[in-house]
A and B are shown apart, each in its own frame.
Chain A
Amino acid sequence: MSWFRRPSNTPLWRDEFSVYTADERYVNRRQFTKFLTLTSFGMVAGNLWILAKSALRRPPSFPRVAVATLEEIPVGGVKVFNYPSAEDPCILVRTTADSYVAYSQKCTHLSCAVYYEKEQNRLECPCHQGFFSIADGSVLQGPPRRPLPRVELQKDGDRLVAIRTEGASA
């Protein structure tokens, strides 16, 4: 049994470009079906690429970096720093006298820089009006679907030290 077509002595060009209108309806449909099937294969390739990226990804290593001193920022104040690499901007907010939170500054929608909106006590992305909770980085409103990656902080004497990032994308 042949996988596809019965063997034919007709040249391929004559088979694919029939002079008969009735045959052309079949050829067009078959070629369109082939195009759809190849597109379907492209979708599988995309899923396999994600699978390969997941399997080959090494667990990230996070350095301990001092990002600020305790009294450096006033209550409601903000400091921008880079963590874990120089290409990862983060925002540190002092929410109360002894409470600090830090998140990645890249909006999870299209990577615009978010800023702290003190009056509403939330983080805002000015590009598409995405709002994030200052408490946990979750999405309050707008187009982003994922929360902001949170930078875990530790107090070390009078310094704030970033020790890892939670929920960071690949």
Chain B
Amino acid sequence: MNNSKPPQSRELTAIDGAMVLIIILLIVQIWLLSATLESYLAGHRDVAVPGAIISAVLFAACFGLYRFVDRIDSEVRKG
């Protein structure tokens, strides 16, 4: 008995995995923004630079995952 999934289903699983990763990164970004804002309002202005850098890195990771999803979508649907 062959238990392997058809290729289309495996690609959907890959896309779902990428989406879950993006959601996790987004939750971290939301927490980071609220923590940076809280520190800024408390007068600690030195946290603004690392906050912005880490947030940009997380966005780059999200963007890379989006490119991955986009490429898979394109490859599967265009054949």
Contact = CB atoms under 8 A, between A and B. Distances in A.
A27 B77 CA distance: 10
B40 A170 contact: yes
B2 interface: no
A54 B19 CA distance: 33
23 contacts: A4-B70, A6-B74, A8-B74, A23-B77, A26-B73, A29-B12, A29-B69, A32-B19, A33-B15, A33-B18, A33-B66, A33-B69, A36-B19, A37-B63, A39-B26, A40-B22, A40-B59, A40-B62, A43-B32, A43-B55, A47-B52, A50-B51, A146-B41
Contact of B45 (A3, A23, A57): A57
Q: Which 4 pairs from chain A and chain B are nearest by CB? A: A43-B29, A47-B55, A54-B48, A40-B62
Interface in A21-38: 22-23, 25-27, 29-30, 32-34, 36-37
A44 B40 CA distance: 16
Contact of A54 (B40, B63, B65): B40
Interface residues on A, range: 35 or more
Nearest to A6: B74
A108 B43 CA distance: 12
Nearest to A46: B33
A3 B70 CA distance: 10
A53 interface: yes
Contacts of A41: 59
Contacts of B41: 108, 146, 169-170
B78 interface: yes
Given A36-B19, A40-B59, A44-B52, A169 B66 contact: no
A8 B72 CA distance: 15
Contacts of A53: 40, 48
Given A6-B75, A33-B70, A50-B37, 19 more contacts: A3-B67, A4-B70, A5-B71, A6-B78, A26-B76, A29-B19, A30-B69, A32-B19, A36-B22, A37-B62, A40-B22, A44-B52, A44-B55, A44-B56, A47-B55, A48-B52, A51-B52, A145-B38, A146-B38
